[in-house]
Amino acid sequence: MNRESVLSAYARLAPVYDFAFGRSLESGRRLAVSLANRIPGRVLELGVGTGISLQGYRSDHEVTGIDLSEKMLEKARTRVFDLKLSHVKELLVMDASDLAFPDNSFDIVVAMYVMTVVAHPERVLREMERVCASGGRVLIVNHFAKENGLRGRVERHLTPFCSLLGWRTDLRLEKILARTSLSLMGVEEVGFFGLFTLLQLGKERSQ
C-alpha cells in the first residue's frame, strides 16, 4: 500500500463515496461523534474524506479535518459551504502519519476507518497521540482482524472485496495498543456482525 495507490483509489471513489459507504459505515461514525460531543474543545478528524461526519459535531467545537485526497476534500468543502458548518475551521491536505501540527494541539483526535488504508498505522497512532492535548481523547473506529468465531469467518469471506478497495485485513488490535502510551478507556464492537471496533483512548494529564 503506497501513497499513489491510495490517492488513485480515492480519486475514483470520491464521486460515489457517500452513496457506497454512507449508510454501511454510519453506526461507527455516529458513535464516535457522539463520544466526541461529550467533550468541548478542538477536534481533529483524520481521513475526513467527503466530510460526511462534519455536521454531527456540536456547534461549539472547533473542527479541523485532514485527508490525503484533494478530490475527497473538494466534496467536504462543498458540504461545509452548503450546510453552513461554521464550526469547521480548516480542511487540509495532509498525511496522517506526518501531521503538520504542534504537540498538544487538539482536545479530541478522531480517526474513522483510517487505520486499514494507511501504510503505517503505528505512525498514525503516534501522531494522534502527539497532537492530542493532556487530558484529551483519541477515538478510533476500525476493522481489526480476528481468526476465530463467526466474525473471523465473515472476515475471510470479505477479504477479496476489501483487498479490491485497498483495505488491509491483517491489522490486529494488539498491534495498535502495543504502540501507544494512551490509556484504553473503552472498546465497543459496531456495525454489521461487529466487524468494526471503536477504541476510546485517553491521554493522561501532565503533572
Q: How confident is the model at residue 168 (pLDDT cuts 50, 70, 90)?
A: low
pTM value is 0.82
Which pLDDT belongs to residue 196? 85
Q: Which three cell numbers stand for residue 197?
A: 471496533
Closest C-alpha to 201, from 182, 187, 188 = 182
Q: Are 114 and 85 in contact (CB under 8 A)?
A: no
Q: Which residue has the higher pLDDT, 80 or 27?
A: 80
Can you give the pLDDT at residue 30? 92
Mean pLDDT of the 123-138 span:
96
Given this model, what pLDDT does residue 25 score? 73
pLDDT of residue 190: 87
Of 19 and 43, the structure prediction assigns the larger pLDDT to 43
Residue 16 phi, psi (nearest 5) = -120, 5
Q: What is the structure's pLDDT at 41?
A: 95
pLDDT in tens, 68-105: 989 889 999 999 999 999 999 999 999 999 999 999 99
Please say whether the beta carbons of 66 and 46 come within 8 A.
yes
pLDDT exceeds cutoff 70 at 19: no
- CB crowding 26-37: b at 16 or more within 10 Å, else e: eebbebbbebbe
Residue 105 or residue 172, greater confidence: 105
Task: Please give the pLDDT value at position 178.
Answer: 87
Q: What share of the chain is helix, strand, coil (3-state, %, to 5)?
A: 40, 25, 35
Find the helix or strand (DSSP H, E) in which 136 lies. Answer: strand 132-142
Residues paired with residue 101 on neighbouring β-strands, in sequence order: none
Q: Flag whether pLDDT at 137 surpasses 60.
A: yes
pLDDT higher than threshold 90 for residue 144: no
Q: What is the pLDDT of residue 13?
A: 62
Q: What pLDDT, on a 0 to 100 scale, did the predictor assign at position 117?
A: 83
Q: Average pLDDT over the chain, rounded to whole? A: 84
Q: What is the 3-state secondary structure (H, E, C) of 66-129?
A: EECCHHHHHHHHHHHHHHCCCCEEEEEECCCCCCCCCCCCEEEEEEECCHHHCCCHHHHHHHHH
